[in-house]
Amino acid sequence: MAKEGFTSRFGAIVTAAGSAIGLGNIWRFPYILGENGGAAFLFIYILFTILIASPVLLSEFVIGRMAGKPVTAAFKDLAPKKKWYYIGISGVVCAFIILSFYNVVAGWTLYFAYISLTGDLLSLNRAEIETLYQNVSSEPVVCIIGMVIFAGLSAFVVMRGVEKGIEKYSKILMPLLLIMIIIVCVRALTLDGARDGVAFLLKPDFSKITAESMFVALGQAFFSLSIGMGAMTTYGAYISKKQNLASSVVSIAMIDFLVAFLAGLMIFPSAFAFGVNPGEGPGLVFVTLPGIFNQMAFGQLVSIVFFVLLAIAALTSTMSLLEVIVSFLSSEYGIKRKMATFIATSMTVATGVVCAMSTTVFNFFDGFSANVMLPLGAFFIILFASLVLGKDKLKSELEAHGQEFKLFNAFYLLVKFVVPIAIGALFVYCIIGWLK
């Protein structure tokens, strides 16, 4: 595979943030938060993002940049003749599983954008919108058509490579998405009953927190930042040695949290205003937001733009997921990018059809990837960083070209002890609970 790379620090940050910011923040985070106690869950999520997820993200960047190679090739290069490359293989499998159901949800966004364009969406009341969502999510033909279209868009971008494809489109799409989210947030906060939604998001009740919900928060932190599956290891290979990895991680984590928080401000004030249960589940975004648009000036236009941009947010994530698989096929088997993209897209579409036709498979892929594969992947990545790379190599890479990382000792303490112990303890506890 020809060596590619990001052209600027901004390009690297928005691309990595684009991978992190997608349906995981706007679609998945609100309903997961709604099902797990609101503000208390948000607090735990922030804590896990800072203390656990961010060190894993930084470790992935280091591994990718040190090797200059994606996923399995990076582990093979840094630990030759060892079995650590299985981490990369697991990451590719995880990316494949996520992409399979992710494309289905992305297809829903395209459908909602279409019915916004026709004006049909804003003519419906809440009960009718709920029925519409149930029909869409349970109708295989609609799901499959939307999924295929979306998968084709992802393939088009990835085929163009890193600089002319993934980075170029991320620079344009991510700022547009942020602007639209802010506009919708402002309107949501002016709705009658919005105060209760804000309280649900900001006033914690820690009695609602269980060990299982803590594990879900950990899985969401990993899902949201796209770590534990090799995406950030792959992107790390494209980052220049001159770029400060630590500051990039801080920027990505802050942007990721900002979008997730703004998504909460979009959803929960409107959910309470329109009498929607915040624990509605995967349909929360699709059920609540049309009610806001229906009460806005130029609501139809905003609805069209929002669902298009929601699809775009999904696209910035699916690009990174697809890139994990494509880079693996290219580096391991010497398959050219266009053919590797075609193969990867065809395979994920095939499994996506199964997800579209079976709610059971869809929910299993969602839960298993976020709550099992990503934490396990992160666990072994952090072990690799501490046991194989070690303190000296990590420090050397993070302080390349005379850069200073004042918090390195704290970072290494997290990598060496806190992160693996925390992930391991929560994982074991939840397994015991599941077996009971």
Please name which of 384, 383, 409 lies closest in space to residue 398, comparing C-alpha atoms.
409
Asked, for residue 1, whether it belongs to a domain, the answer is no
Lowest average pLDDT, out of 7-21, 258-272, 411-425, goes to: 7-21
Q: Is residue 413 part of a domain?
A: yes
Q: How far apart are CA 183 and CA 178, in angstroms?
A: 9
| 382 assigned to some structural domain | yes
**Is residue 177 in a domain?**
yes
- Which of 49, 65, 73, 83 has the alpha carbon at shortest distance from 383? 83
Task: Give the pLDDT of residue 76.
Answer: 94
CATH number for 61: 1.10.4160.10
User: The domain containing residue 359 runs over which residues?
Assistant: 9-435
Q: What is the pLDDT of residue 28?
A: 84
Domain assignment present for residue 4? The answer is no
The model's pLDDT over 38-68, given as tens digits with 9 standing for 90+, comes to 999 999 999 999 999 999 999 999 999 999 8
User: What total of structural domains would you count in the chain?
Assistant: 1
pLDDT in tens, 145-202: 989 998 998 888 788 755 565 556 666 777 777 787 888 888 889 888 899 999 999 9
Q: Buried b vs exposed e over 117-155: b needs ≥16 C-beta within 10 Å?
A: eeeebbebeeeebbebbeebbeeeebbbebbbebbebbb
pLDDT given for residue 141 in this prediction: 85
7 or 232, higher pLDDT: 232
For residues 24-38, give the mean pLDDT. Answer: 86
Non-local (6+) Cβ contacts of 62 within 8 A are: 236, 245, 385, 389, 394, 397, 398
Residues in Cβ contact with 15 at an 8 Å cutoff, skipping those fewer than 6 apart: 6, 166, 167, 170, 235, 316, 320
Is 55 among the domain residues? Answer: yes
Give tens-digit pLDDT for 288-334. Answer: 778 778 877 778 887 887 888 788 778 877 887 898 899 899 989 99
Do the domain assignments include residue 371?
A: yes
Amino acid at 340: A
Q: What is the pLDDT of residue 1?
A: 39
pLDDT at 321: 86
Establish if 3 belongs to a structural domain. Answer: no
pLDDT of residue 133: 84
Cβ contact 377:98 at 8 Å: no
